[in-house]
Structure 1
Amino acid sequence: MPTPPPTPVFLDLAALSLYVFFAFFAGLIYYLHRENKREGYPLVPDRSDRPNFGPIHGFGETPAPKVFRLHHPPGATVTQGAQPERDISALVIEDPYNGTPITPIGDAMRDGVGAASYAMRPDVPDLAYDDNLPKIVPLRAAPGWHVAAEDPNPIGRSVTTLDGELAGTVVDLWVDRSEFVLRYLEVEAVGRHRVLVPMFLATINDDGDVRVVSVTAAQLAAAPRTRLPEQVTLLEEDMIGGYFGGGHLHATPERSEPCL
């Protein structure tokens, strides 16, 4: 009996291309999933009953730290793996379980907790790219900058807060030299010291009078201050923004309670 001829082997290029695409797409998903862990991972368990549980990586190990060499601030930064940056003045009040919310145990706005939280950014000023000088400065330190004649000028105007009290007087405006916008109102509060109020958390009427509804007069006077009179650092900006923004939730007990 004659031997049958061997069955020819056909290479299905369409099927092979599909399998290669599936393999590539699966690898891409895995790669992106790991890259997504460069911030916030490994997770730190908040279970007080399991102190030795250790960091949580989840599916796909946390990637090795990546170093970015920055133009400003000078030097290099690592994207993950850092320890907690500061103590949080808050505790778990109810029975602990995974995801139990924490409750501030002091002044949430001064402690930077909850809605008033901030990140530990570098304690250096943000610089303009063209001249490497601080880009957010008061008008008194920005020659050639002024308020347009058709716009209300709040300098010299009073500042009232959510309690209706006179909290201080605007003495200068801080401008962003890179973005051509006003960033802060410099207010001389009661007590003769000056604080910065974020421009986007204040309202100015046609007469130039200023109202800040996120804080009380006492809270405005207690706001974080800059270390230098004509310079604000990235860390100070985050602290100031967190303080005044957090006032919308933490300024009064009524604001911290449910609406219903």
Structure 2
Amino acid sequence: MQSELINTHVDLALISLYVFWVAFAALIYYLVRESRREGFPLLNEVRGELVVRNPMTPPPPKSFLTLHHGRIVPETPERDLTGLLSPLGLLPGAPLQPLGNPMADGVGPASYALRADVSDMTFDDNTPKIVPLRTAPAYSIAAEDPNPVGFAVITADGRVAGTVVDAWVDRSDMLIRYLEADAEGTTGQRRIVFPMFLATIDRNRREVNVVSVMSHQFLEAPGLQNPDTITLREEDRISGYFAGGHMYATPSRFGPVV
């Protein structure tokens, strides 16, 4: 026997609709609050004044369990770019003009993030993932591939900037990530690590071409704290430096094409 209370006095379909509306409104409220975690409070780019778009309260801090620092409340460190960039106009979103050496300052295409200043680790045995072959005897370059060790490093100005002395292997992905060169004229006192994917190997001429930088810029590239390991922050900075040279290495590369 069916209950007359449910059938005649309660409209389950209407109640379900009301529940859906309430849940959907709560979801929108939650997503809008979560979207205010990054980029708030809003500041006027020109005057630096606080711009209030919505008085909605920001969400409470959220903690994350990280590999290198344990459980933390993220406060993303920002690089201090004071005195390194200047806007070309007084309009919000105006392009920023480098004031000094953009490659050394790490701005624009040469910019880098303040990642953890520790080495990336392998998943299995928690050891540094990217290391030079001299410290990883279990790895070697395949016989059918050119071994760049001993090849001259030729930069965009056609000069010899160094000699390759080692290759850095990614033990997780099984590929060469970086090459290491003895800078020209330093006889081992200055070693340069540069991205493999920004270099072209010429087996016949025994050359490694790095066309993103000039010879003097190659010698001034960022170095490593430890000669046998590379940290996440160093990876970003080195990659940004050499990649940024495609735009900043010479005056002819800088600025708009047309």
Same fold per TM (> 0.5)?
yes
- Distance of aligned partners of 1:63 and 1:239 in 2 relative to their CA distance in 1, 3 Å threshold: same
Q: Does 1:25 align with 2:24?
A: yes
Q: Which amino acid aligns with 1:174?
A: W
- Runs of at least 4 residues off by over 6 Å: none
Aligned equivalents of 1:90, 1:110: Cα separation in 2: 10
- The equivalent residue for 2:69 is 74
Change (3 A) 1:89 1:246: farther
- In structure 2, what is the equivalent of residue 181 of structure 1? 175
Match of 1:196 among 193, 197, 205: 193
For the pair 1:108 / 2:102, whether they are aligned, the reply is: yes
Per-residue CA distance 1:10-39 (angstroms, 9 max, x = gap): 6161x5434433443343344334334444
- Tell me the alpha carbon deviations over residues 43-84 of structure 1, each in whole angstroms, 9 at most, x when there is no partner: 44422x3x4x237675754322222122x213234334x563
2:224 matched residue in structure 1 = 226
Q: How does 1:237-252 map to 2 (within 5 A)?
A: 237-252=235-250
Is residue 2:165 matched to residue 1:168?
no
- Partner Cα separation in structure 2 for residue 44 and residue 123 of structure 1: 30
SS at match of 1:195: strand
Q: Structure 2 counterpart of 1:176, which letter?
A: D
Contact kept? 1:169, 1:188, Cα under 8 Å: yes
Question: How many Å separate the matches in 2 of 1:147 and 1:60?
Answer: 58
Residues paired across the two proteins, number: 247
Q: Is the 8 A contact 2:157 2:215 kept in 1?
A: yes
Counterpart Cα distance in 2 of 1:253 and 1:166: 21
TM-score of the aligned structures, taking structure 1 as reference length? 0.84
Q: Distance in 2 between matches of 1:196 and 1:84?
A: 25
TM-score by length of 2: 0.85
8 Å contact 1:90–1:102 — kept in the other structure?
no
Shift of 1:190: 2.0
Q: CA RMSD in A?
A: 2.4
Distance 1:91 1:218 in 2: 23
SS in 1 for 2:252: helix
> SS in structure 2 opposite 1:256?
coil
CA contact (8 A) 1:214 1:251 kept: yes
State the 1:88 CA deviation. Answer: 4.1
**2: CA distance, partners of 1:214 / 1:200:** 11
Indicate whether 1:62 and 2:42 are aligned.
no
Alignment of 1:69-148 (within 5 A): 69-70=65-66, 72-80=67-75, 82=76, 84-148=78-142
Q: Which residue of 2 aligns with 1:5?
A: none
Preserved contact between residue 69 and residue 75 of structure 1 (Cα < 8 Å): yes
- Residue segments in structure 1 that go unaligned for 5+ positions in a row: 1-7
Asked whether the 8 Å contact 2:133–2:166 carries over to 1, the reply is: yes
Partner amino acid, structure 2, of 1:74:
H
Per-residue deviation, residues 116-174 of structure 1 (Å, max 9, x unmatched): 11111121111222222211110000121100001111111011112222111111000
Check conservation: 2:42, 2:51, Cα contact below 8 A.
Answer: yes
Contact 1:183 1:198 in 2 (8 A): yes
Query: Aligned to 1:254, what secondary structure does the other structure show?
Result: coil
User: Which runs of 5 or more residues in structure 2 are unaligned?
Assistant: 1-7
Measure, in 1, the Cα distance between the counterparts of 2:256 and 2:31. 38
